[in-house]
Amino acid sequence: MKVKKILKITGITLLVLIIALAVTPYLFKGKIIAMVKDNINKNVNAQVDFTDADVSFFRNFPKASIVLEDVEVINNAPFENDTLFYGKEVAITTAIGELFKGTDEAIQVYSFTIDNAKLNIQVDESGNANYDIAKPNTTETPENVSKTSDFKFKIDNYHILNTDINYFDAKSKTLLALKDVQHEGFGDFSLATSELDTQTDALVSFAIGDMNYIDKQHIKLDALIGMDLENGKYTFLENEALVNQLPLKFEGFVKVNPDSQEVDISLQTPSSDFKNFLAVIPEAYAKNISTVQTAGNFEVSGEIKGLVTETRIPTIDIKVVSNNASFKYPDLPKSVENININAQLKNTTGKTEDTYVDINNLAFKIDEDAFRGNGRLSQLTTNPKVNATIVGKLNLSNITKAYPIENKELSGILDANLTTNFDMNAIEKEQYQRIKNNGNLKISDFLFSSKDVVNPLAISEATIDFVPGKISLKKFDAKSGKSDFNATGTIENLLGFLFNEDKLKGNFKVNSNEFHVNDFMVASAEGSKNQNTKVTQGEALKIPEFLDCNINVNSNKVFYDNITLTNVKGSLALDDGEAILNNVTSDVFGGKIKMSGLVSTKNDTPTFAMDLGMDSFDLSESFNGLELLQTIAPIAKALNGKLNTNISLKGNLGENYTPNLTTISGNAFAELITTTLKTRNIDLFNKINEKLTFIDLNKVSIEDIKTRLSFDDGKVNVKPFSFNYKDIEITVDGSHGFDQSLNYNATFQIPAKYLGSEITALLSDIKSEEAKNITIPVSTKISGNFTSPSFTTDLASATKDLAIKLAKVKAQEALGNINTGSDTVDGILGGLIKGDKNETQKDSTVTTPNSTGDKVRSVLGNLLGNRKKKKEAEEKARQEAAAKAKAEEEAKKQQEKVQDSVN
């Protein structure tokens, strides 16, 4: 019973303890978080915060774990509001009892883990460091004189994972970047002397100013470090490092003093195999080196020794040596031999500006071609200076036969004899007189092919002379696809382009017999001989923003799609992603064209603005060749003759450099010369011929027509213009859309004689010569689209109206009522001549006091006072009225006949 009772008590006790361990973090979470924040912020001169904290007694039992999320350390002045540190997660392990200490008691930390963090270390030009955030102890007493922090370390292990570390010194412009750092260490920092076992893996970049010395080199280091914490001395005991795949061994120590660091480290390659040299080259370029056959040696050795202070660095002497080495890739036919390297990185004074690199010899040979060079790179941290010489002759095709270069084919002979002497400040300030280049470079029978170019580039010969301040292109004869071109000119700042990301400036003259634009823009429809070419049909090229060049062009023929331009001359300027054309002239379509404007690819959507002058263009040829003309004037396909026009356009371009029609705006002035229509198979003209049987548009001459057009919102607006068909005047205006929609008005001034036999019959019975020559305006409306046009006209109503008026004229002539009044012949004819379509019809059987007949009879009656004559006059009036009624009846019948004919 006692045993059962003891077990029961023990079980209950354990259960209570487990519950207590599980519940306590939640009960004290607020206090623990406040304590952590308070302890941190009391000891640092920065703003430290985190979004959440998780406290657990089980994760690392019997130790407690604190996990902080989204930890930020924000600097105060002089780096105010800069982020020194950000960590997605920071985990700390400590004893459970440590969490319940007072705010003035030290907390002991056993391990920590930092994951997904960014550390940004900066030193400004005054020497202030943003990581120097520890608050000084201002209340020293015998009890706290040795205390530097309320955190104590008795670390078993620590981990820094997936972290980026950047260091930048503004005074020396030194940048050290460690990307994707994976680092962990195991040791006991509580002992005066101990060993720290570390593993590190990272991508390292190093630059001074604008000069990149190391760019994302893969560094791996497994090191056992002896720690003497009392003396601040850390000694390399055992280590193995890999720079890319180059193995290195370190010996020596680093000692931290109160105002300096003492460094005494020696390094060397553990073996002298030349394969070590290939190991330095990034694997993406060197490929698998395990099977490469090598001979000769490659050794890296040296030492770094001295003090590191605010004004000094250790002395440096690192040598890279190779003698009579060679290598051969097993699947390539040729080897690289007689490789000699003698280079040295040195600093003998401890001043950073006195660091330099000497390349005493760099030489190699492929077959019978030998290449060598030497030089010095000095003043690395201030104003880097280069002094170098390159001499040699090289068959470029042997490079791809000896070294694995993917998707590129090289051939040709490179012959170089060049010396250069320059400093980076001269390049940055464009003080070209301080850049001393001398020598020449010659390339012959060069062929370059890769997936990045549409057609192989073949250079039969290129000669470049280097003189102080500029580079002269003396000769450049090349072909690509079906295109040939030769060039001469100058390049002003090749070094600025290569080293300082400046624009490449130059002036060139380019001549060509045949230049095919598609050779440089799209894959050949027949298939390129270069099997690596994968350029999509219609794919456009971006204009390089690094070019700042002026090019004077002279080409006998330029081919673009189905267009052939001859005698092409003009200037082309390339600058900041724009191509600027100035007075480019050419013969094309039996006439001449002149172009000025620009094409810009600097933004995501390319744009253009262009002024075009076309003189004596053959309309038929130009319509078939120019898609833009088909859009602006689709009716042009029905024209034979010549065209003069000036067009101003701007808008966006599609991916293949063709205008996006919905974005075009601008205007044009067009003049047609000796032009006729060819209307067959054009629905619009066929419908006009059907509706207006007295017109045959095939016989229309539209010589010397001039009109103005404007473009906007996807439409072409045409100002009114006129032309004649025989004795018919035709006036047209309106608009059409780039979608081929139509909205035009056309007015035909049609002589009455064309309006049918009934109208002709009426005209033959009329004595007035004016009536015989009368014309009427017929309005037409053209709508729909070019493939399905709609043509409406008021011809029927106009003809009906004319018949009524001509019948009135005939009746009035029968009455002799010709001279005055609206119902007289002159009045009716006047309305017709004026085209008064709103003239009000009047009943000719009704007389009014104002009529001319009444006035005449009244005057005669008063003068003669003769009743007999009055009766005679009345009888005559009755006879005239009867004749008038008979004429009107006859006119009415004629009108009905005309109406039936029209209907």
424 located within any domain: no
Residue 606: count of CB within 10 angstroms of its CB: 20
Q: How confident is residue 30, by pLDDT bands cut at 50, 70 and 90?
A: low
Per-residue pLDDT averaged across 6-12, rounded?
Answer: 46
Q: Which of 228, 243, 272 is the last residue of a domain?
A: 228
263 located within any domain: no
Q: How confident is residue 96, by pLDDT bands cut at 50, 70 and 90?
A: low
270 located within any domain: no
538 located within any domain: no
577 located within any domain: no
341 pLDDT exceeds 90? yes
- Among 24-28, 452-456, 570-574, top mean pLDDT goes to 570-574
> Judging by DSSP bridges, how do beta strands 504-516 and 665-677 pair with one another?
unpaired
**Exposure string over 872-902, b if 16+ CB within 10 A, otherwise e:** ebeeeeeeeeeebeebbeebeebbeebeeeb
Encode pLDDT of 406-455 as tens digits: 656 678 888 889 898 888 887 777 777 777 888 888 888 888 776 656 77
- Cβ-contact 361, 341 below 8 angstroms: yes
pLDDT for 623: 65
H-type alpha helices, 370-450: 397-402, 424-428
d(CA 71, CA 73): 7
Q: Is the dihedral of CA 795, 801, 805, 806 positive or negative?
A: positive
What is the domain count for the chain? 2
Encode pLDDT of 785-807 as tens digits: 877 888 888 888 888 877 777 77
Q: What is the DSSP letter of 892?
A: H
Q: Which of 197, 212, 228 is the last residue of a domain?
A: 228
**Closest to 437 in 3D by CA, of 450, 426, 448:** 426
522 pLDDT exceeds 70? no
pLDDT for 301: 93
pLDDT for 900: 56
726 located within any domain: no
- Cβ-contact 468, 439 below 8 angstroms: no
46 located within any domain: yes
391 pLDDT exceeds 90? yes
d(CA 626, CA 422): 52
Q: How confident is residue 102, by pLDDT bands cut at 50, 70 and 90?
A: low
864 pLDDT exceeds 50? no
471 located within any domain: no
Encode pLDDT of 151-169 as tens digits: 455 677 889 999 999 988 8
Contacts within 8 Å (CB) and 24+ apart, 830-839: 831/805, 832/771, 832/774, 832/776, 832/802, 832/805, 833/770, 833/774, 835/776, 835/777, 837/798, 837/801, 839/805
Q: Strand (E) positions, 517-576? A: 547-560, 563-575
pLDDT for 348: 93
The percent of residues in the chain predicted with pLDDT above 90, rounded, is 10
Encode pLDDT of 634-692 as tens digits: 776 667 777 788 888 888 887 666 777 778 888 888 877 766 666 665 677 777 777 77
Structure tokens at 197: 């076992």
**Closest to 596 in 3D by CA, of 650, 644, 543:** 650
Q: Which of 201, 228, 255 is the last residue of a domain?
A: 228
* Structural domain range at position 847: 792-902
SS3 category, 318: strand
- Cβ-contact 549, 508 below 8 angstroms: yes
d(CA 204, CA 214): 7
